[in-house]
């Protein structure tokens, strides 16, 4: 009887500790990698030309949990912004720097001053049946190459911002003659699934 109670207590504590670990936004290895430099230090962008990088870029990502008040998460966002600034891009996914989480930054070309928005655990919940051929799609992880990709002209999306607020909105724009925010979102969303724009080239 005494052994049984002690055993149950130890088991309960073990389960509780395991539960605490699983609710952290990042594994210890990812956390150590993120905090290894300051907010002003850009990440190295993974490239398809590197064999190990390519494997990571093809890995589907997992959702981020309990992130809004987490200092490591905020540092990740800051470093991703710096990376995007240095690389002169319009979007970047966390997986492109080696963090396999459903998270990316995308430029809102449809808004004044073209601000960067953070999309955490994004979903495309609705889109038209028709598609367009977006010209000169490109990727920071695929240097010196572009191509025309198959995309939706608009998408209804859901995601959380860096403050933990849920956003629901329709994004539009499907050509370089207009604000192609919907294309940027689709491109970065594909990254979280391990998909590259070269998988969606128009015939």
* The three-state (H, E, C) secondary structure of the chain, written as one string: CHHHHHHHHHHHHHHHHHHHHHCCCCCHHHHHHHCCCCCCCCCCCCCCCCHHHHHHHCCCCECCCCCCCCHHHHHHHHHHHHHHHHHCCCEEEHHHHCCCECEEEEECCCCCCCCEEEEEEEEEEECCCCCEEEEEEEECCEEEEEEEEEECCEEEEEEECCCCCEEEEEEECCCCCCCCHHHHHHHHHHHHCCCCHHHHECC
Longest dimension (CA), the chain: 76
144 tagged catalytic: no
Q: Locate tokens 């689709």: which residue?
A: 186
- Active site positions, annotated: 188
């Amino acid at each position: 009887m005494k052994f049984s109670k002690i055993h149950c207590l130890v088991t309960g504590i073990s389960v509780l500790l395991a539960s605490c670990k699983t609710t952290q936004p990042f594994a210890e290895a990812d956390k150590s990698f993120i905090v290894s430099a300051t907010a002003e230090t850009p990440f190295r962008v993974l490239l398809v030309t590197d064999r190990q990088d390519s494997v990571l870029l093809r890995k589907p990502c997992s959702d981020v949990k309990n992130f809004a008040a987490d200092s490591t998460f905020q540092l990740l966002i800051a470093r991703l912004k710096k990376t995007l600034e240095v690389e002169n891009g319009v979007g970047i996914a966390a997986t492109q720097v080696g963090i396999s989480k459903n998270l990316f930054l995308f430029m809102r070309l449809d808004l004044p001053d073209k601000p960067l928005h953070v999309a955490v655990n994004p979903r495309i919940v609705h889109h038209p049946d028709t598609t367009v051929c977006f010209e000169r799609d490109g990727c920071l992880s695929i240097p010196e190459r572009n191509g025309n990709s198959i995309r939706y002209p608009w998408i209804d999306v859901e995601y959380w911002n860096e403050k933990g607020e849920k956003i629901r909105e329709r994004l539009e724009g499907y050509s370089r003659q207009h604000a192609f925010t919907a294309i940027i979102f689709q491109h970065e969303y594909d990254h979280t699934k391990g998909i590259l724009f070269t998988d969606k080239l128009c015939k």
